[in-house]
Chain A
Amino acid sequence: MAKNDLIGGSLWEQYSKKVSERMNNPQHFGELTEAEAELMGGRLVIANEGAESCGDTVRLYWIVEDDSEVIRAATFKSFGCGTAIASTDMMAEMCIGKTVDEATKITNLDVERALRDTEDQAAVPPQKMHCSVMAYEVIKQAAAIYRNVDVSTLADKDIVCECARVSLQTIEDAIRINDLTSVEEIVDYTKAGAFCKSCIRPGGHEKRELYLVDILARVREEIELERNPQAKTEDDFAQLSIIKKLRAIEAVLDSDIRPVLARDGGGIELDDLTVDADGITHIAIQYKGACKGCAGSVAGTLSFVQHSLQTRLGDSLRVQVV
């Protein structure tokens, strides 16, 4: 917590002017018909995305010109809040004039960026990002229909979150594209885990095959290795003196862990360090600030802390919370 977090944010205050304007007066809503498609010398494509039972839904209409594959017209309909309507409206606009292949490259981030008033001010608060994610996915859906391929070949097979129909691919993409480091962020961006929460971690309402905590840990590991292939110094770590171990751990806490926790107003301190007969280094940590008492701190956050330390310093390290 800090000065700016104590008075919680108001959702609507965080919408950009462009979002408000498009919510009030969407430019591209409505349906397109076969007759219109024929008139324009193109093919009508209608794609649906989202499950209404889980919240927002969107339907995208394209008229794709026969030879050039250029999208000549795009409109939408939506059951959703202001940001869903605004981002879908922007997405439809961005499709117009692009080829189908070009359109599939539009991501939710492009849509969000296009809705910003200024370059460095997000158009919507984090928990509203999922609205633009849906805008991105409906394009994929439309392209699959246009190419007449099974949607599952383009779209994603492994559904991690049944409530919100979020796939493994979507989650992995969201983590990579947005550099997500916590389960909470995954929930904000993809809506996975936002409903029954079963898919967040084992022990929830329903048993799942894939859990967000595990996916996050794996993808983070891949990202860290890609960024810094030399990161692993495990052989060295086990040989270090206690003092040097302490320093190495503090260094990782500073570089990889504290900045992430600080984003949520939390912090972490090293409390104790022991080495057992098997050469395993056990460290005890203490949470500070918002992490203290946070339900996630003993599960997702702890696994993130341990994972980050192991990635940098080797598997001979165990973390526990005091």
Chain B
Amino acid sequence: MERIYLDNNATTLVDPAVREAMDPFYCHMYGNPNSLHSFGIEVRPYLHRAMEQLYRGIEADDEDDIIINSCATEGNNTVIMGMYFSLLKETRKKRIVTTQLEHPSIREACRFLEAQGVKVTYLAPNRDGLITAEMVAEVVSDKTALVSVMWANNETGLIQPMKEISDVCRERGVYLHTDAVQTIGKVKVSVKEVPVDFLTFSAHKFHGPKGVGGLYLRKGVVLPPLLHGGEQMGGHRAGTVDVAGMVAMGKAMELAVSALEYENREVRRLRDKLEDALLQHKDVMVVGDRNLRTPNTVYVSIRGVEGEAMIWDLNQHGIAASTGSACASESLEASPILTAIGADRELAHTGVRLSLSRFTTETEIDFTIGVIDKAIVRLRQLSTSY
């Protein structure tokens, strides 16, 4: 059976060109870039090139830093824990402002700091699923050390008004972090246009490999490292850099940025086609205005059809999607993000997320539409509630 992957917000296919770029660094150019000898020296130009690609990708200034690490979870923890040691612990800035929409690596890191006496405000989104600059302005005070707002949400694809939020933070002199994991390669990410202080991303969300990510630090920002014990990354992150991973991430970034136009036109068209087909059914709703979402994501609620049952049926036909249904989570809890956007309990149990990529084809979307149509009929026949 040909399989169809519509779970690209979870992870993505490594672009064959990325795979090719990283290949030489396993069996041929396997030197440690910190070594003095030729094995070390020969890999360094590739790292420089990867850095160029990454800096260009997010329009970072040469004076800024992009720390290569293992993933966005590490980056997010580095920011939260680093802020604890640089500001929250000793100074009178004792507060973090974040949102109820964040990834667990922000949410749980903040919870951990709450136990250390840090005060954390978790902003609830408005009915459209958005965190507005006004909401941030309302709670930021001179006691706030950091604001952390996810740029685009993994479940709904909703894009937050980062520019406006960054204006508020600059005006108030508060550090701003954004988790841009779901944004790179979906919409333009420029730290020049949207001046954040910290930005985190993960290669495997934009057709790079798993296990490598990046943390952007604006020039002049002080942040102690999470990992100590080496001079790599200018002392910001100890540990031998994953050479192949870094080269791959550079290449993946370059490709993702150059594919933005395609993403916004073609991926969006396919996503909209799928979404329109879903909305043909009665009692189907989609979360969030499609123009405010990343072009690849649709989060749909089909009345009477439990989310896990739907992705089960899709999987039976080789289609991969995901659900925020309470039933499918380890804890039987509805996704906190759906709860935060005020989803009623039915939505919390019926939600299915379909996320496309630039590798998704029209044939795949057409096939998926057919399978979903049949699954809706079958599962509604079984359902007590439809």
Measured CB to CB, the residues of A under 8 A from B are: 8, 11-12, 23-24, 26, 29, 48, 52-59, 77-82, 84-85, 127, 130, 187, 191, 194-195
Contact A77 B384 (CB under 8 A): yes
Contact status of A81 and B327, CB under 8 A, knowing A56-B306, A195-B333:
yes
- Of all chain A residues, the one with the shortest Cβ separation from B345 is A53
Interface presence of B27 (CB below 8 A)? no
Measured between beta carbons, the chain A residues less than 8 angstroms from B307 are 81
Interface of A, helix, strand, loop or mixed by DSSP: mixed
Measured between beta carbons, the chain B residues less than 8 angstroms from A23 are 309, 312
Q: What is the minimal beta-carbon distance from B122 to any residue of chain A, in angstroms? A: 15
Measured between beta carbons, the chain B residues less than 8 angstroms from A12 are 312, 315
Measured between beta carbons, the chain A residues less than 8 angstroms from B385 are 52, 57, 79
Contact A55 B349 (CB under 8 A): yes
Which of B309, B315, B346 has a CB less than 8 Å from the CB of A52? Answer: B346
Interface presence of B308 (CB below 8 A)? yes
CA distance A127 to B325 in the complex (A): 14
Contact status of A81 and B309, CB under 8 A, knowing A54-B345, A55-B326, A191-B332:
yes
- Of all chain B residues, the one with the shortest Cβ separation from A194 is B332
In the complex, the number of residue pairs spanning A and B with C-beta atoms less than 8 Å apart equals 75
Contact B384 A79 (CB under 8 A): yes
CA distance A29 to B379 in the complex (A): 11
Measured between beta carbons, the chain A residues less than 8 angstroms from B332 are 55, 127, 130, 187, 191, 194-195
Contact status of A79 and B306, CB under 8 A, knowing A54-B345, A59-B384:
yes
CA distance A236 to B237 in the complex (A): 59
CA distance A24 to B382 in the complex (A): 11
Interface presence of B280 (CB below 8 A)? no
CA distance A77 to B381 in the complex (A): 8
Contact B306 A80 (CB under 8 A): yes
Show 17 residue pairs from A and B whose CB-CB distance is below 8 angstroms, ordered by the A residue: A24-B316, A52-B385, A53-B345, A53-B346, A59-B384, A77-B384, A78-B382, A79-B384, A79-B385, A80-B309, A80-B327, A81-B327, A82-B309, A194-B331, A194-B333, A195-B332, A195-B334
Q: What is the minimal beta-carbon distance from A193 to any residue of chain B, in angstroms? A: 9
- Of all chain B residues, the one with the shortest Cβ separation from A193 is B332
Interface presence of B259 (CB below 8 A)? no
Interface presence of B383 (CB below 8 A)? yes
Measured between beta carbons, the chain A residues less than 8 angstroms from B386 are 79
Of listed A48, A54, A78, A79, residue having the most chain B CB within 10 A: A79
Contact status of A55 and B327, CB under 8 A, knowing A81-B306, A81-B312:
yes
CA distance A258 to B253 in the complex (A): 50
Measured CB to CB, the residues of B under 8 A from A are: 304, 306-309, 312, 315-316, 325-328, 330-334, 345-346, 349, 381-386
CA distance A11 to B349 in the complex (A): 17
Q: What is the minimal beta-carbon distance from B313 to any residue of chain A, in angstroms? A: 8
Measured between beta carbons, the chain B residues less than 8 angstroms from A130 are 332
Contact B330 A52 (CB under 8 A): no
5 nearest A-B residue pairs (beta carbon): A81-B308, A194-B332, A81-B327, A53-B345, A79-B385
Measured between beta carbons, the chain A residues less than 8 angstroms from B383 are 77-79
Besides A8-B330, A57-B385, 9 other A-B contacts (C-beta < 8 A): A26-B382, A53-B345, A53-B346, A78-B383, A81-B307, A84-B327, A194-B331, A194-B332, A194-B333
CA distance A317 to B115 in the complex (A): 29
Which of B309, B325, B346 has a CB less than 8 Å from the CB of A85? Answer: B309
- Of all chain A residues, the one with the shortest Cβ separation from B334 is A195
Q: What is the minimal beta-carbon distance from B340 to any residue of chain A, in angstroms? A: 15
- Of all chain A residues, the one with the shortest Cβ separation from B327 is A81
Q: What is the minimal beta-carbon distance from B322 to any residue of chain A, in angstroms? A: 12
Measured between beta carbons, the chain B residues less than 8 angstroms from A81 are 306-309, 312, 325, 327-328
Q: What is the minimal beta-carbon distance from A67 to any residue of chain B, in angstroms? A: 31
Measured between beta carbons, the chain B residues less than 8 angstroms from A127 are 330-332
Q: What is the minimal beta-carbon distance from A203 to any residue of chain B, in angstroms? A: 15
- Of all chain B residues, the one with the shortest Cβ separation from A50 is B384
CA distance A24 to B315 in the complex (A): 11
Q: What is the minimal beta-carbon distance from A4 to any residue of chain B, in angstroms? A: 16
Q: What is the minimal beta-carbon distance from A43 to any residue of chain B, in angstroms? A: 21
- Of all chain A residues, the one with the shortest Cβ separation from B310 is A81
Q: What is the minimal beta-carbon distance from A71 to any residue of chain B, in angstroms? A: 20
Contact B309 A29 (CB under 8 A): no
CA distance A286 to B385 in the complex (A): 49
Contact B308 A82 (CB under 8 A): yes
Q: What is the minimal beta-carbon distance from B49 to any residue of chain A, in angstroms? A: 35
Contact status of A57 and B384, CB under 8 A, knowing A11-B328, A81-B327, A194-B332:
yes
CA distance A57 to B382 in the complex (A): 11
Measured between beta carbons, the chain A residues less than 8 angstroms from B308 are 81-82
CA distance A53 to B326 in the complex (A): 11
